[in-house]
Amino acid sequence: MEKLEHFLNAILETRKVWLLEAKEGFFAMLEDNNGDSYVPLWASEEAALKAAKGDWEGYTVTTMGFSELAEWLKELSNDEIDIAIAPEADGEITAISSAKFKNWLKPYDDHSYKEKKEEEEADDDDFDYGDGWAQPWQ
């Protein structure tokens, strides 16, 4: 569980995960001895680059933000594909179900966190909301 906690804390800082992509839309996959499928995710570009060897040699390291990831996790869950957190070189994985990961991600994918498109400028909202406008409802 320590590895999972470290991973979750790391991606909260960057609001993205790293993947290996064979070609556009086709990502690295793993399968365990039971035939269960997993998509490996990494918390940093460096870790993903380090994994891009062996069967994954020639794969491109790419990133995915939380909004896109949340949508994709729905599809993965429907397809019964789970997540492998930073798989080890020896094949050992720390797994989390796509549905559980999506539920964990949900608070960071709503209006409390919005990914900015590159062309968008910083929020120019100069309206004075007054004190306490962000307080929870009583």
Superfamily of domain 2-104: Uncharacterised protein PF11572, DUF3234 (3.40.1350.90)
Domain ranges of the chain: 2-104
pLDDT at 89: 75
Q: Give the mean model confidence (pLDDT) for residues 44-53.
A: 94
Q: Is the pLDDT of residue 135 over 90?
A: no
Return the higher-pLDDT residue of 34 and 125: 34
- Give me the DSSP letters along 61-117: EEEEEHHHHHHHHHHHHHTTEEEEES--TTS--EEE-HHHHHHHHGGGSSTT--PPP
> How many Cα atoms occupy the beta-carbon half-sphere of 83 within 13 Å?
26
pLDDT surpassing 50 at residue 3: yes
At residue 133, does pLDDT exceed 90?
A: no
pLDDT band of residue 110 (cuts 50, 70, 90) is low
The answer to whether the CB of 18 falls within 8 A of the CB of 43 is yes
